[in-house]
Amino acid sequence: MRYDTLSYEKQGFIGHIVLDLPDGGDGLGVRLAEDFAGACASIEDDDEVRVVTLTGAGKHFCLGTDPCLFEEGEAPLSLCRIAMALSRPIVAGVNGDARGQGLELALACDMRIAAETARFALPQVTAGFMPRDGATQLLPRIVGRSTAMEMVLLGRTLSASEALDVGLVSKVVPPNELARALAEIADAMAARAPLSLRYAKEAVLQGLDLTLEQGLHLEADLYHLLQTTEDRVEGIRSFLERRPPHFEGR
């Protein structure tokens, strides 16, 4: 499926979103958000999709977009909110520089791996504005307050190795190995029970905004709900029969 700023393709149980942004995406904020929302809507409507990957088609992942100025009273489109609302796990393969709103989109993904040549930055303050699509909230939760403040207030750029050191990404590979590494992660997730993946993601994301006690109750509720699924029965049966499970998302 082709959009103005990205393409979407399903292969087996995996949905692949590839950003295709002229000039790295500058000036395409609204169009990118609309296209990304459309691709995510297609994913939500397709029960076969268990995992989603997100990467860039060119030299860069996404170099940022415009500030997305709107008329008074009009709510801005949010790549961050769209990505976080996706019920399936989404893994970003950062193939090149991720700056501005491009980095904010990567932050909203559930996992991030990067090519050794990738760089990460939030330069908005140097242009007289600030991150507006989730970075001020997501980045401190991922890398901690000090590093987040450096990136947000100073516009500091992190190399891929520095991003790995602070936990911004979970893996760094040579550029020619990124596609394979991304596929390995997606394939491993797709082999899991899809409802387990969705509920586990929900528990982690919602739990971040709850007290510990509330989060433990949420975890227990979702765990008990999973016990009523056919996939849970299949998991037990396959273990007893010493064979790989065949999950169907029911």
* Residue 233 in this model has a pLDDT that exceeds 60: no
- pLDDT tens digit string along 67-101? 554 444 445 678 888 999 999 999 999 999 999 98
**Domains of the chain, first to last:** 6-190 (3.90.226.10), 194-240 (1.10.12)
10 Cβ partners below 8 Å, 6+ apart?
A: 16, 46, 48, 49
Spell out the residues 6+ positions from residue 63 whose beta carbon is closer than 8 angstroms to its own: 21, 23, 24, 25, 26, 97, 99, 100, 102
Residue 120 has which token pair? 């990460």
pTM summary value: 0.87
For residue 227, pLDDT beyond 80: no
Using 50, 70 and 90 to split pLDDT, how confident is the model at 27? low
Strand locations in the chain (E): 6-11, 14-19, 51-56, 90-94, 98-99, 111-115, 119-121, 158-159, 171-173
- The β-bridge partners of 245 are none
Residue 151 has pLDDT above 80, yes or no: yes
pLDDT, residue 232, reads 63
Taking residue 71's Cβ as centre, other Cβ atoms within 10 Å add up to 5
Provide the token pair at 85: 């609302």
CA 175/CA 173 separation, integer angstroms:
6
pLDDT given at position 190? 93
